């Protein structure tokens, strides 16, 4: 329950390596008073931060980018120890993504945030000059997830900072160290300590942050929690940006390259042990290709190396914790009980540790199974055949989620035509997941996958309020539409409307003549 009287502080947050169970660090949960104090400090510091200007903030981002590059291996190692993913994945899907997000903001923030002229197409408004002015919200609260504990808060936080906001982040209680590393780098680069803060705590600390006097909340996580955040925010009309996960479909057409598409499915389903909102969680394959696809993908799956992410030979690391592993087990068991074929995997790898699960391929799945309807968030690839392109689109759209999707084909035009019919925030043709690394592209979904967009120009626009500033160029002239109406003025304005919008040129000319006297009429107040 979201409430201002949530009692926190007695519990502790323990960061553990999910591969080994090693305790990395322990923290006391931030109390409600401490979360509130962090927001107060952020609000006090934000005006000075906004006043330094975009160019100065961009230079700080440039220093941050250099520092992150210098410390890239250490940061990647911290992410792997805390999250479990292979260190090369931490480097590419977290550190590299943030370096490029900084690059995008360095190159584009000034152009996006500078005042934008507003044209006046209405003839009567031609004596005005206007701009759209983009101003920071003030204090942005960010609640970030454990599956991308560095890149998610960083990409959102950098956009908020360069726009002139102060930021308070509540990271997942499973991965606080990555967020603290982010804060350390930003502070070293020149961001004032009170402008970017991390409060460590569990879900209760996040609830307090939502209720605190912030100006916008950015949440990444489950649909259930996202709805609670949205409900609490709605009570005080707090703007929200929500990224709530997906059940992303992969459509494999009969002309797809079998070797390429099976490798793409493998990476799309099993990268980060399937704990990615953009993971392939539903795979639809043209019936004529399906059995060959399954044969090859199972053969490749059995070659994947599961183990500790710090081992450079590892392809797939552990799941984050026991609870997530149980979800995966439940979905696989439900599918098998309802008639799915288990082709490989489907079991814990206890010889490696308690949180390891074998990469799993299922065939003969249907939409009555949980594995095709609920977010699994684990290393499972369920495969279902389709007969026609229309059926493939129908199956792809038969979901409460709409984050991303992919279409695989040798015919780009056909792929793009199908992509336009799929209900998702992003559809890739012949690739998967890498859209998250395109800094210019927006990230976000439709339906239960969330509200708003992160990344790129649209993500930067999420971090500002837009003000319309309009100045009249004839300040000493009374406006023709002001008081002093009367019957004659009404006839003149009817003529003016005809002048602007009649489809008859005769009526337009007549309307112009009729309305001309309005500009010299007597009796205006």
Which active-site residues does the annotation give?
243, 277
CB contact at 8 A, 439 and 101: yes
Q: How many CB atoms lie within 10 A of CB 107?
A: 12
CB contact at 8 A, 335 and 325: no
Distances (CA, A) of 347 to 155, 302, 304, 323, 360: 35, 13, 15, 15, 8
Distances (CA, A) of 433 to 180, 249, 340, 349: 26, 11, 26, 26
Q: What CA–CA distance (Å, rounded) separates 349 from 359?
A: 10
The alpha carbon dihedral of 196, 199, 200, 202 has a sign of: negative
Q: Which residues contact 78 (CB under 8 A, 6 or more apart)?
A: 177, 178, 181
Distances (CA, A) of 458 to 47, 113, 138, 148, 454: 24, 11, 18, 21, 7
CA 294 to chain centre: 32
Burial 492-502 (b: 16+ CB within 10 A, else e): bbebbebbeee
The alpha carbon dihedral of 178, 184, 186, 191 has a sign of: positive
CB contact at 8 A, 383 and 362: yes
User: HSE on the CB side for 148, CA within 13 Å?
Assistant: 29
Q: Which residues contact 217 (CB under 8 A, 6 or more apart)?
A: 140, 141, 142, 143, 209, 210, 229, 233, 238, 239, 240, 241
């Amino acid at each position: 329950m979201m409430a201002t009287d949530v009692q926190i502080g007695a519990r502790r947050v323990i960061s553990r390596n999910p591969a080994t169970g090693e305790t990395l660090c322990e923290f006391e949960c931030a109390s409600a008073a401490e979360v509130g104090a962090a927001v107060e400090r952020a609000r006090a510091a934000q005006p000075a931060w906004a006043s330094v200007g975009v160019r100065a903030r961009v230079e700080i981002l440039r220093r941050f980018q250099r520092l992150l590059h210098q410390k890239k291996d250490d940061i990647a190692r911290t992410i792997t120890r805390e999250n479990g993913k292979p260190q090369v994945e931490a480097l590419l899907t977290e550190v590299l993504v943030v370096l490029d997000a900084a690059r995008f903001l360095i190159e584009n923030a000034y152009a996006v945030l500078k005042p934008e002229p507003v044209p006046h197409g209405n003839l009567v408004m031609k004596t005005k000059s206007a701009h759209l002015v983009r101003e920071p919200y003030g204090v942005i609260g960010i609640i970030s997830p454990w599956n991308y504990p560095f890149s998610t808060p960083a990409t959102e936080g950098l956009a908020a900072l360069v726009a002139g906001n102060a930021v308070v982040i509540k990271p997942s209680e499973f991965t606080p160290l990555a967020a603290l590393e982010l804060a350390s780098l930003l502070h070293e680069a020149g961001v004032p300590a009170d402008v970017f803060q991390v409060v460590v705590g569990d879900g209760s600390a996040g609830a307090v942050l939502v209720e605190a006097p912030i100006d916008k909340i950015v949440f990444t996580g489950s649909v259930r929690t996202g709805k609670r955040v949205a409900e609490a925010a709605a009570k005080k009309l707090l703007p929200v940006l929500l990224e709530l996960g997906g059940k992303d479909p992969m459509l494999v057409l009969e002309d797809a390259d079998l070797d390429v598409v099976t490798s793409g499915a493998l990476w799309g389903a099993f990268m980060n042990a399937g704990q990615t909102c953009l993971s392939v969680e539903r795979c639809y394959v043209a019936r004529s290709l399906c059995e060959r696809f399954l044969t090859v993908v199972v053969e490749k799956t059995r070659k994947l190396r599961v183990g500790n992410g710090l081992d450079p030979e590892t392809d797939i690391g552990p799941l984050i914790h026991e609870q997530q592993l149980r979800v995966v087990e439940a979905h696989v068991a439900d599918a098998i009980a309802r008639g799915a074929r288990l082709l490989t995997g489907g079991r814990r790898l206890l010889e490696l540790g308690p949180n390891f699960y074998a990469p799993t391929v299922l065939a003969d799945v249907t939409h009555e199974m949980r594995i095709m309807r609920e977010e699994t968030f684990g290393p499972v690839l369920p495969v279902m055949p389709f007969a026609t392109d229309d059926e493939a689109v129908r199956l792809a759209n038969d979901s409460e989620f709409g984050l991303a999707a992919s279409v695989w084909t040798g015919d780009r035009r056909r792929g793009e035509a199908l992509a336009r019919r799929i209900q998702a925030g992003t559809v890739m043709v012949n690739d998967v997941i890498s859209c998250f690394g395109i800094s210019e592209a927006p990230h976000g979904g439709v339906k239960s996958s969330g509200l708003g967009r992160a990344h790129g120009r649209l993500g930067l626009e999420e971090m500002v309020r837009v003000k319309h500033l309009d100045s009249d160029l004839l300040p000493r002239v009374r406006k023709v539409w002001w008081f002093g109406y009367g019957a004659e003025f009404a006839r003149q304005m009817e003529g003016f409307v005809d002048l602007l919008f009649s489809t008859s040129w005769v009526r337009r000319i007549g309307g112009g003549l009729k309305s001309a006297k309005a500009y010299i009429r007597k009796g205006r107040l």
